[in-house]
Structure formats: structure tokens, C-alpha cells
Structure 1
Amino acid sequence: MPHPVRSKILAGASVLTLAACSAGGSTRGADDAARDRGGAGGTLSVAINSATVPIPDSPATQGAEGIRWVSGQIYDALTAFDLDQADTAPTPHPSLAASWTVSPDKRTWTFRLKTGVKFHDGTAFDSSAVLFELDRLTKPGSPFFSESLSTAAKFQTQTIASYRAPDPATVEITTRQPDSLLLWDLAGIYFPSPAAVRKYGNRDYPGHATGTGPFKVRSYTQDTLDLVANKDYWQGPPKLDGLRIRAMADPSSRLAALEAGDVNWIETPPPDAVPRLKSQGDAIRTHPYPHTMVLYLNLAKAPFTDPKVREALQYAIDRKSLCSGLLDGLCLPASQAAYEGNPWYDKSLGEKYHYDPAKAKALLREAGHSSGLSIKVAIPTGGSGTMWPQPMTQVLQANLKDVGIDMQLVPLESNLLLTIGRAGFTGPNQQYDALYNSMSWAAPFLADRFSSDRVPPAGCCNVMGYRNPAVDQAFAAVSAEFDPAKQAALMAKALGLAAADSPMTFVVHDLDLQALAPSVRGFVQPQSWYFDVRNVWVKPA
């Protein structure tokens, strides 16, 4: 008998194997298109999973979606990730910072900047531009300080104690304690033209966004962001003539736009459309990457103050059926933040949280809930990185009902959920027992949702309010380790230790489903939320 929720969105779908998705889910044609670097030109038109285009400030709005399609195209940062490869999880390397050294006490970093780099308005990038943006993000009372940008960037700026510019080509940044992760943090701090911000002010600047990046803004509205290639880009011009970002929150609208030729790339098409798109020659791109659907639990009140209740949720969810049934192989079951094969995967924890409803019921009985309990959960109506929230949470709702948990779903707009994630379960947010949303963990500062110094409002973004001295020590050890291999091993240990205490419920690992028209050439899908489209081009019809 068909699954009642599955039938609503997957009628007539054929099964994509999990093995195909794990290997990248690519057809022969898609692989050929990815390797095709022989041309140049065209406009890449992308329909993103968002109701509006992220505002092109620094950083752009809408969290990781804004960084993927807006910040990373218009701006550069001191460090960057190697995204034009799929074989390894990207790590930081030089970008606007050509090189760096660290003081003997491991607290002061000295960055030598690239010289000759220009903003889109022709003004020079130098150390004064770095200090200008750091003031804008971290120094209340400075002329262009922005409370909203400061909140959005708190993930990256939290450990910065001070900074100065000894000369135009040098910046020194001092952290509150030794912080080996600063290079990761700096990859998410983007630099606008100080001249443009001063000219237009914080309020009007996004309409005139000006960076040093590979694309320049031609026009911006809530529905469409039109970018043109920066032919004078300091790393060499992109192959594309233009990049158009269009907001389309509804999956069926994105699908229709791709099939009509209005766009040539869409995020997360409806799963049941995947076989048809492949048969039409479109490239279906999937890849394991650091993005996981989770339930963030409110640990400030019952029932989730009890670790047995938290653990019961882990065993109540049938992740394998969710992936192989409802989503036709477009996800991987998740028992911890990282997926198997990633350097941060804790092998000692492994896939501990398998489907075991009997064990879930036993844990609930031990916690005094033999007659069941009710929880109120905020879920997104859609938006960046949410996959297909309504049908997926309905499956979770059915799983939990089977073990005696009544899960009341409260749909909220995705930007409101982002706000709750930064503020925590405080004030009116206390009404929710949990928050269902994605966890992007592409960098350590994103993966660490568990340290007590990241509990809002002082830090970001331990929405659960989770506090565990052993976990704090584990993440402190990561920050204090400057050897990359040892750092990765400590990261796996820290994430595994946190997962074993279940402050969040892990659901599935997203596989970053993208659908590209056959005309889109040269795109490599990395093990990252972020994309590099500088080598992409669009083949003429």
C-alpha cells in the first residue's frame, strides 16, 4: 500500500538508488557537462528555493543561501574554500589575504594582503577596507555599525578581540584565546567598498552593492538579482557573461521554469520530477555535503531536560524509510552531524541511532511518560536548505505518534526560523519545544552549535541552550589545535560527544539536489554548501 504522504508528492516516481546519490547521482551526460571547460559566455539563470532574493549586503541575508548565491559572487573574503573540486571536503586557503603568520602565543594573526585588487567602483582594496567592515560588524558606535549585520556575522566574529592595520598591505587580528579556526571564520566575512557604503549609507547600500568579487551587480529587486561578469577580476574573469538569480519558493514553479527554458538551473525540484528531467537530458546533480536536517530541542523546559526523552526521539525515527521511500534516495540517514566519509564523522558513535521504536517506548517509560506526551514544533514553510519540509515532517509526526508522542506542527516562514535560531528559545520562542530546520556545518564555527559560549544572546547559535562542560572542553581542544589532521580528529570527537547527549535529533543528510539544463557546462559540485561558478558557461542552443 502506498505511503499516504509519499503519494502526495511522488506519484509515479521511479526509484533512484542510494548508491547513485552517494556517488554523485550523475548521468554520463552530466559528467561530460561537468568536464566541459572548452567554451565561454552565456547567462546562467538560477531559480533558488527562496521567496525573495537575498539582500546583497555583506553578508547577504537569508543565511547560507545568501552566501551561496549572493555574497560569494559579489564579494571576496580574506580566505576562501577550494570549491572547484568534488573529491575532498574544502578547507581554507588564501584569497584577499595572500599569506599569514601566527604569534608565538597563537592569538595574533598577521595577514599580508593581495595588492592591486580593486573594488567594482575602481577604489582600492587595502587594510583600511578590512578595518572598515570589521567596525561595521563588531564595533557599536562606529559610524556604519549595523546591528542586523553584526547579528548575522556573529558566528564568524565571536572570537575576535581586536584588530589593527600597521600599513596598507597588512592586517593584524587578535583573538580572545588561541583560535586555530579563525581562517574558517574569515572565509565568511566579506568586504564591501567603503566608498560605496559611505556614499549610500547602510540603508541604501544594498541597492548599490559593490565588492571585489567575480560578478558585479547590474540590477536588484526582491525577485531577481542580475549580475554581470567582472572582466577585471583579480583572479581572472569568469567564463559567464552574466548570472541571474531568481526567487521561486515553490518547487513546481521552479520545475515549470526549467522545462519552459526560462531558467537553466533550479534548486531542489520535486522528487517525483527527477526521472522525467533525466529522461529529457537535464543533469541531476547530488553529492554528500555538510547539511543535515535536525530537530533543535528546547532544553530549558520539560520534556527535553530529560536525556532519556531526547534519546527516545533518536530511536523513534525511521530514517532509512524516509530516504528510500518518501524521497526516493535523495537523502542519507543521519545519526550525527557529519556523514560517513567526512573527516568530522565520529566512527566510535557510528550509526548508533537506528530505528528502534520499542527502545524509544522503553526510554519514554523510564522517563515517566508511559501515557505519552505532546510537543509543539516550529517548522519552515519552505526556503533555502529546507528540502521538502511539510511531507518530511509529516513522516516524523507519524513516527513519533507510533511511540506515544503527539507532535504539533507550527509552520513558520523560514526567515523567522532563522531569527529564532539566532535568538534561542527565549521570550515568545519559549512556546516551542523544538525547531525543525537544517544544520549547515561546512565550517567548524557552523558545526559547533553545542558550546556554552555560543548560547544566545551572548553567542551564536546554540539555539538549544545546551551546556555540557565535557563538550565545551572538546571544542576548546579543537580551537587550540593548529595541526589540520589532529584538528579534524578532535572535531569528530567533539561532534560525537555532543551527539551522544542528543541535544538535537538528527534526521537526514541532504544530498544537495540540483537540476541543470544540458546547456550548463563546467560545473563541479563540491562537498560544500557553497558553489564556484567561475568556470561555468552556457552553451548556445
Structure 2
Amino acid sequence: MVYKKMVAALRHLRQTKRIALVSVGVAFFATPAMSEDQVLRIAMTASDIPLTTGQPDSGFEGYRFLGYTIYDALINWDMSSAEDVSGLTPGLAESWEVDAEDSRIWTFTLREGVAFHDGSEWNADAAIWNLDKIYDEDAEQFDARQAGNVRGRIPSMDGYEKVDDYTIQFTTSEPDAWFPYQLSFLLFSSPAQWEALGGDWDAFASAPSGTGPFKLTRLVPRERAVLEPNLEYWDEERVPRLTRLELIPMPESSSRTSALLSDQVDWIESPAPDAIPRMQSQGIEITSNPYPHTWPYQFSMQEGSPWRDINVRKAANLAVDREGLEAMLGGLMVPAVGIVTPDHPWYGEPTFETRYDPEEAIRLLAESGFSPENPVEIKVLISTSGSGQMQPLAMNEYIQQNLAEVGIALDFEVLDWESLFPNWRRGADDASSRGAHATNITFAWLDPFSAFYRFMHSSMAPPNGFNWGYMDDPEYDRLLDEARVTFDQTEQDAILAEFHARMVDDAAWLWVAHDVGPRAMQPRVKGFVQAKNWFQDLTPVYIEE
């Protein structure tokens, strides 16, 4: 395979620094008409560089660009297909199994022959050290910031231990069929590098060491992160083709668009819909692919919240003209009628139809004493940008107009993404929520826990999880608890379908859109396969001459 030969040549070149080999590298690059300077500049939606110590912040954009590039999980995502929804694949663990007699016990066999970027060895001791940095508050390497970013994603973790040099064992607090999905968010940093930097996580952030396909070589807060390939990456199929990857925070969509049109960057996340025709006229390519994503309003169910009235909840869902919103976004969304799409096995058979019906919305609000002349007043936390937030300002203004027409007056509390996202686990009653009745944070439904449990189970109320609005429904809890301990996939799907149908019938949230992950890139950017996932694999990407 030409590419594997090219990687081998580059490895040898860096090790020996023999100029004679440069001609070999150029010859291999010539086959795919690749530019000699393989530099990719990406404008992110974040306003700052996500945390680089191992457990990123800034939502899933943090994982996309500074998580799965520098680090690996025990279980990774397979992002190689544009046709199939991404599934799990072995990462730093070669295999795993649940105990046949006690389904709370999981045994993981670790991958041998893997090294961190600093050259130190990946093994069970490194794995336990990383688990302690998240779960053992008495450990010297414990990092509250990293713990806060990931603990809520792995709620059933109860214990862990080393079995031998390449085997570890987890114990969950109760049987949990979703545990492997949760472990995909736990990334592993180098203990040796942390110790070499004096046990300082701030110093580690500027010189991190993981096992991932890229290494971070330069970090300038709020300006850029520069990554280079890990030519010794354990998965030879995923050794990067780029020589340098530059990640630039740029929260304003107009700024990202201008940067792309002026050739200051090669790729932008979430292009402004009204600029797409102009970009296409200049040869810029627009990519998109639907993926498990929902853009909602998550309601507060606390005393005094208007959303406690089911008429208000249903009216809001009937007042949004989703097709009009789709047209405003240039077709770059899919209307949402629940957390998951109607073709998904978890959707179920709800009796309430989420649709555009403003007359019915007005009727329902009238039953509760509200009208366009006497509206119910509701405050919502929104962001200016952020991971998966699409075009939050324009979308929220559109929804504000829709709801005003039926008798719901929205007042927005606008925060930057780095302020809104941490509020998610603080809850509606926290001072940082500023008395809001809803929050607008998008999320992935990659698995049942991330889709439902962390939001709707009463045990996930802050600070344990992301039940921001303090939903407390015994029937929700019963169905979710039953699904979580059901290891037969068909039976589990049926339980989740019943749960989701109940949610839709309750109009538990305001469902608005599913994203299609639009990106715009210069025509010279090649090799990108847009997976049906929040996360994307940058290792196949290259720059063509």
C-alpha cells in the first residue's frame, strides 16, 4: 500500500534526518497529487482552545478537535463510514466482556505495544493512574476540572482494579448495558509526562502527552493550537497524512466565513447559511451528513416554571415552524419531533403529533389563560455559538417570533458557550441560571445514556448529571432503570421506544432540529469522510496541489 510505505519513509526520515530520503517522500506524495506542505487550518466555533489535559471542555467540539486527536479511550468510535451510524471499536483496550455470573463486573484486556507521545508505556498502571485522576480525590494527580468534564458521563462507575499488567476490571454500581459507550469519553494522559512537568496540570496543558494520532506542539490560548502527526501511532491505518493541523477558535459565523473566503483558513465549522451560495460560487465545497444530534429547549420543572403546564409545553411545540426554519438555514437541518428521529427504533408510537399548528397552540394557551395579548413570559438561556449549536442567535430569534404569535413571550439571557455549557450541570436553581425557565444546549444521542438517562432520570439532577430542569417522573425512572439492565438489544429497544413515546406525549422538551453537521472547506482539502457522528476523523485528510 502506497500510503503505508510513505508513512514508513517519513518515520525513517525523522529518525535519521538524512536528506537523501526527501526525494522518496516527495515521490510518494506525488501519487495522490498531494501538496508538499500538508497544513490544514480549521476555524472552530469555540471562543477558546478546549482543555488539552485529557478530558476536554467546550462540549463535543472539544472532544472532536482536542480529545480524539491527542488521546485515545479504551473504546473508540469507528468514524470511517459516511453511510452507517458510527459504532464502537477497540481502542486502548483490545477486548472487553461482562461477567456471565455478575453483570456488574467488566473485564478489559489492554492493547500491548502502545506508547504515549513522550515514549512512556501504556499499561494497566497507566490506566489506573488515569482513573484515579478522575475518581480518587485524595490522589495527587486528581484534577477537579477533568473530573467535572467526564464524571457525569459515566455515572455507574463504582470501582476499578488492576488484574495484571494488561488487564483491568471495572465494577459498576448496578448492571449497566450502556457502560461500554460511557467509557468512550474517558481519555488517557501520560503519568510520566505529568510527573516530568512537576505534577502541574496547567503545565501539562501546554505540553500534553496522550496516545492519539496527533501531538500538540504549540498552544496559544484564544488564538490557536498546533498539532503534528504521531508517526508512531499504534493504528497504522490512522497515521495522519497532514504535517500540521492548526485549530483556531472563531465563534462568530461571519468571521469564520470571511476567513475562509479570504483563504486565511482551509476549513470552517458551521458556515453561515446565507453565505453558502457565495462560497459555492468560489469553488468552496460544502459537506454535510445527518447524525445523532438534537437542538432543543430543555425545560425547568421547578416550582413556578411555566413549563409545568402541559398546555404551554404542547403549545410551544406546535408553534414552531420547523420547515420555515429549515428554509432559513438553507436546508441544513432536519426538523425534530422528538429526541430521536421517527425512523429510529427508540422513537416509539406517540399519540401527540409534534407539528406546526399555531391555531391549536393558541387554543391550548387559552385554556391556561394566555393569549398573544396576555402572553406567558419565559426566560431562556442561549449562546452566541458553540459545539453543535448550529446558528443559535438566528434560530432563537426565529423561534421567539413564532412563539410570540401564539402567546409565549421569550426573553433571552445570552451567554458565551464557555459559560452556558458548565451551567448545564449546575441546574435551573443555580444563581448562574439567572432565573431562566429553559436552556438551549444541543447534544448527541449516541447511546441510551447520552440520549435519555442523563437528562430524564431523577438521579441525574445536578450535580450528578445533566437533568438541568430537575425532571422527576417515577414512570420515566422505571422505564430507564429497566432498559439499563436489559442486555438483549431487541428487548432494550422496545423499552426505550415506550419511554420516548411517553416523552413526546408529555411534550417534555421543545424539539426543534437535528443538525446535518455542515462544514465548508477549500477544494484543495481532500480525503475527508464525514461520519454520522459528532466526532470526525482527521487522519485521512490531506491537501492537494
Normalised by the length of structure 1, the TM-score is: 0.89
Query: Deviations for 1:363-412, whole angstroms, at most 9, x for unmatched residues?
Result: 22223435321111121122222211122111111111111111111211
User: Which stretches in structure 1 are left out of the alignment for 5+ residues?
Assistant: 1-36
**CA distance in 2 between partners of 1:261 and 1:350 (Å):** 51
Q: For residue 356 of structure 2, what is the aligned residue in structure 1?
A: 355
SS at match of 1:153: helix
Kindly report which structure 2 residues correspond to 1:196-235, keeping only aligned pairs within 5 A, or say none.
Answer: 196-200=193-197, 201-222=200-221, 223-235=223-235
SS at match of 1:44: strand
Shift in Å at residue 479 of structure 1?
1.7
Preserved CA contact (<8 Å) 1:335 1:351: no
Matched, 1:256 2:258: yes
Letter in 1 for 2:248: R
Letter in 2 for 1:89: V
Q: For residue 133 of structure 1, what is the aligned residue in structure 2?
A: 130
Which range moved further: 504-513 or 270-279?
270-279
Shift in Å at residue 217 of structure 1?
0.9
**CA distance in 2 between partners of 1:271 and 1:360 (Å):** 29
Which range moved further: 77-86 or 481-490?
481-490
**CA distance in 1 between partners of 2:448 and 2:82 (Å):** 19
Gap change, CA 1:350 and 1:252, over 3 Å in 2 = farther
**CA distance in 2 between partners of 1:350 and 1:331 (Å):** 24
**CA distance in 1 between partners of 2:488 and 2:457 (Å):** 21
Q: For residue 525 of structure 1, what is the aligned residue in structure 2?
A: 530
Shift in Å at residue 485 of structure 1?
4.5
Query: Deviations for 1:293-328, whole angstroms, at most 9, x for unmatched residues?
Result: 11111110331122222122111111111112x212
Gap change, CA 1:296 and 1:169, over 3 Å in 2 = same
**CA distance in 1 between partners of 2:89 and 2:208 (Å):** 25
Shift in Å at residue 437 of structure 1?
2.5
Shift in Å at residue 214 of structure 1?
0.1
Letter in 2 for 1:482: F
Gap change, CA 1:63 and 1:350, over 3 Å in 2 = farther
Q: How many residues align?
A: 502
Q: For residue 379 of structure 1, what is the aligned residue in structure 2?
A: 382
Q: For residue 59 of structure 1, what is the aligned residue in structure 2?
A: 55
Q: For residue 156 of structure 1, what is the aligned residue in structure 2?
A: 153
Preserved CA contact (<8 Å) 2:384 2:415: yes
- Structure scoring higher RCO (CA < 8 A, sep ≥ 6) equals 1
Gap change, CA 1:438 and 1:315, over 3 Å in 2 = same
Q: For residue 512 of structure 1, what is the aligned residue in structure 2?
A: 517
Preserved CA contact (<8 Å) 1:138 1:157: no
**CA distance in 2 between partners of 1:514 and 1:127 (Å):** 39
Letter in 2 for 1:152: N
Preserved CA contact (<8 Å) 1:155 1:446: no
Preserved CA contact (<8 Å) 2:351 2:505: no
Would you identify which runs of 4 or more consecutive aligned residues in structure 1 move more than 4 Å? 37-41
Query: Deviations for 1:271-298, whole angstroms, at most 9, x for unmatched residues?
Result: 1111222232222111111222111111
SS at match of 1:294: strand
SS at match of 2:159: strand
Matched, 1:108 2:100: no
Preserved CA contact (<8 Å) 1:184 1:444: no
**CA distance in 2 between partners of 1:158 and 1:312 (Å):** 34
Q: For residue 295 of structure 1, what is the aligned residue in structure 2?
A: 297
**CA distance in 2 between partners of 1:298 and 1:521 (Å):** 45
Of residues 421, 434, 440 in structure 1, which corresponds to 2:438? 434
**CA distance in 1 between partners of 2:504 and 2:286 (Å):** 32
Preserved CA contact (<8 Å) 1:424 1:463: yes
Gap change, CA 1:127 and 1:413, over 3 Å in 2 = same
Q: For residue 26 of structure 2, what is the aligned residue in structure 1?
A: none
**CA distance in 2 between partners of 1:38 and 1:156 (Å):** 41
Kindly report which structure 2 residues correspond to 1:386-425, keeping only aligned pairs within 5 A, or say none.
Answer: 386-425=389-428
**CA distance in 2 between partners of 1:485 and 1:93 (Å):** 21
Preserved CA contact (<8 Å) 1:452 1:472: yes
Preserved CA contact (<8 Å) 2:156 2:173: yes
Q: For residue 318 of structure 2, what is the aligned residue in structure 1?
A: 315
Identity of aligned residues (%): 32
Letter in 1 for 2:297: L
Gap change, CA 1:88 and 1:252, over 3 Å in 2 = same
SS at match of 2:66: helix
SS at match of 2:153: helix
SS at match of 2:65: helix
**CA distance in 1 between partners of 2:233 and 2:409 (Å):** 55
Preserved CA contact (<8 Å) 1:299 1:503: no
**CA distance in 2 between partners of 1:484 and 1:319 (Å):** 32
Q: For residue 80 of structure 1, what is the aligned residue in structure 2?
A: 76
SS at match of 1:423: coil
Query: Deviations for 1:84-106, whole angstroms, at most 9, x for unmatched residues?
Result: 10222212221111011211221
Q: For residue 184 of structure 2, what is the aligned residue in structure 1?
A: 187
**CA distance in 1 between partners of 2:109 and 2:41 (Å):** 36
Q: For residue 177 of structure 1, what is the aligned residue in structure 2?
A: 174
Query: Deviations for 1:137-162, whole angstroms, at most 9, x for unmatched residues?
Result: 11222212122221110232211000
Preserved CA contact (<8 Å) 2:251 2:384: no
Preserved CA contact (<8 Å) 1:102 1:109: yes
**CA distance in 2 between partners of 1:168 and 1:479 (Å):** 31
SS at match of 1:173: strand
Preserved CA contact (<8 Å) 2:352 2:504: no
Matched, 1:463 2:468: yes
Preserved CA contact (<8 Å) 1:133 1:192: yes
Letter in 1 for 2:209: T
**CA distance in 2 between partners of 1:72 and 1:385 (Å):** 17
Q: For residue 21 of structure 1, what is the aligned residue in structure 2?
A: none
**CA distance in 2 between partners of 1:520 and 1:204 (Å):** 33
Of residues 446, 457, 482 in structure 2, which corresponds to 1:451? 457
Q: For residue 477 of structure 1, what is the aligned residue in structure 2?
A: 482
**CA distance in 1 between partners of 2:51 and 2:368 (Å):** 46
SS at match of 1:304: helix
Letter in 2 for 1:228: E
Shift in Å at residue 473 of structure 1?
2.1
**CA distance in 1 between partners of 2:522 and 2:490 (Å):** 39
**What is the root-mean-square deviation of aligned Cα atoms in Å?**
1.9
